[in-house]
Structure 1
Amino acid sequence: MRIYVVGGAVRDELLGLPVQDHDHVVVGATPEDMLKQGFRPVGKDFPVFLHPQTQEEYALARTERKTAPGYKGFVFHTSADVTLEEDLVRRDLTINAIAKAEDGTLTDPFNGRRDIEQRIFRHVSEAFAEDPVRILRVARFAARYADFTVAPETNELMKQMVAQGEVDALVPERVWQELSRGLMEHKPSRMLQVLRDCGALARILPELDALWGVPQPETHHPEIDTGAHMLLVADYAAARGHGLAVRFACLMHDLGKGVTPPEKWPAHHGHEGEGAKLVEQVCKRLKVPSDCRDLAVMTAREHGNVGRALQLRPNTIVTLLERCDAFRKPARFTQMLLATECDSCGREGKGVSFRDKPFPQLAHLEAALAAARAVNAGEIAQRSAEQPQRIPELIHSARVAAVRAALAAAGGPSGDEE
């Protein structure tokens, strides 16, 4: 029995990055050998075991054979005579096909160290094409290792996989899993660019892919292209360290611009409402968790109103708060403001950048919400018990008065637009 550390742990150590988890491959052993040494079996499709002390994963060296479309159509073979090289050749990228022995020596049959030095994602073998999840993984790795590029031959292979329909066989849960993980890396724009370069984005998220080539007014969007704007917004949200729900809302906020008739370009009047419907469509298809879905829909629908917040009258602001259920869910409303701030700051081009431009709308609306929430709705309801049908109107009016007073006291704009 020989044990090697493989995959991400070796790759990240060579990159000088912190190593989170260790995966091991065991050569020359049977499941019975592992059980005798106290390892606990956990693998369903092939033998994987947990170490009795460290709980790290140890997988028996294996080969695999494609039997059906998609990423589940594989038959695995394990035996004591499967070699380390036979196990490594089934892995996705050369940088993940390096093994480290217990004495520290490296086995690198596919020149992964060279590709690490040259910052290249390169597939190990043609077997890469058998698993469409690998396209998503390469894209996610690009978001994490932003200075790496995809080898031309690997990008060409991914294009062929898309053309052959392999990506269409991906289940929604797996697409969302990889997409959400990529959004949480420090450069999510790279993930989207890789997916777009091979044609996978048009299959996975056609609503998003439609944004490229759609112009916006240069005065407000010096980057002009809506797809380019979306990449800037996604990276700004990552730079600010926002959570997944905010990052996903940033990704989805402008989908409505992708369906604006070309004759109306570069204007996009009413894109917010169209965008909200498209976001709901995406979330239903990908089975997006409800917290991400609800925030993304709200952001798509309301980001224009938030952008105009300094011109809105107190009555319009309170109506916005009510529509967003901000009194019951103030934290989610703040998340929407953060996503809209990213939209505002994610604009640059031709020597112009909005990245450090103030976004006073956030504090303005948060102050309005705090003032409106301070109104004692229960007390108003008690006073109006004899006219229950008027209670909502009276609470609304009290909140409007509170917002008007708070904004006036703060010396900010009181609003002149309904």
Structure 2
Amino acid sequence: MKLLTNKDIRQFFHHIMVIIILALFFCLFLSQMVIHDFKTEVFTYNYKVAGYLLKHGINPSYISSAFVEPKTEEEILAGKDFLDTLGYGVDMNNRLFSDGNMLLRKYRIYFISFVAMFGALIISVFFLYFKRQHNTIEKANTAMNAFMAGDATIRIDSNEEGSLYKLFASINSMTTSLNAHFEREKYTKDFLKNMIADISHQLKTPLAALKMYNEIIKDESGNEETVKKFITKTENALERMEILIQSLLKIAKLDTGTIILNKREADVSLLVQKLAYSFETRGSQEQKSIILNGPNHVALYCDVNWIMEAIGNIVKNALDHMEEGGKVEISWEETPVLIKITIKDNGKGIHPEDIHHIFKRFYRSRFSQDIQGIGLGLSLAKSIVEAHNGTITVDSTLGKGSLFTLDFLKLTNM
């Protein structure tokens, strides 16, 4: 029975069974006493009758026959009729039958005492059982109140077996789940708070510039060359703001898990060829080259658009930090476990002081000469790769270039 899996209920039934067995033994003992006392009373009465008859001269042989020989129905009826005339029968008041009345009173006291003792034991077992259950529930209630008051570490003791402790284990699981939910909510609030602070901080500069450009354009409205110059500056500032906002929104969506990745098997070689083509014009203008190196038909399970953006941000970062004649090499390979994509450049490299910070949002190196960057490209790339359950690492030598490595597990159902 599932009910008996509860330790307290099992102990409760054990105690009840012990009490019932003791009661049965006591009843057997009491019944034996009743029989013994009844026999004693009957024989005492017979002794009295025989002694009385002997004292009054009745022949002993008649007395012996009266006690030993079997009686006929006629003799029994005759004796009954005679005693009835004397008022001596089974309907006689017990108080007139002194010996029987004393025996009855004696055993009434025995039975009342037995029932009282048996009842007290049963009540004690019930009391102890429900007291323990009450204490257990009160402890659980105290723990729950502490949790509701803000103590997220509190848990109800659920190490024992039984239905009640299964309930406590379920409550503990629920509190753990609620804790995780609270932590996610706290993370989301902190994330939004930081995001708003970042956006506010980053927009201050271009907004101030736009305000200044607008004032200059109004003041120099008659100077076509100046107006044209600051309109171009305004367009650049607006473009910078758009890139900033779009990047922040993408990172926010990735970090909060609100983006559903449209994953499918994609040929890595075709993916990087398309990516290289998008940088072809810039490479030609700046005399920088992009080299592709890897086998055909290497399948990566991913969201193509997002992966292209991640690799594209790394390539753009490389192009931003290299001189004319520089090159970026994108390579890929397949191992029994991983799909590995590397982006190597021969640019300026990353200062050792910056190597552990380049994936941080808005991080700008004090050694960087790039005044246009906003410090979100590599952070966004990292978020995209991690959203695909991948990893991104960097190795760099100052003055010789950098190597970014993207590793993805070969699992088609991730």
**TM-score of the superposed pair, with normalisation by structure 1:** 0.18
Q: Which structure: larger Rg?
A: 2
Greater helix share, structure number: 2
**TM-score of the superposed pair, with normalisation by structure 2:** 0.19
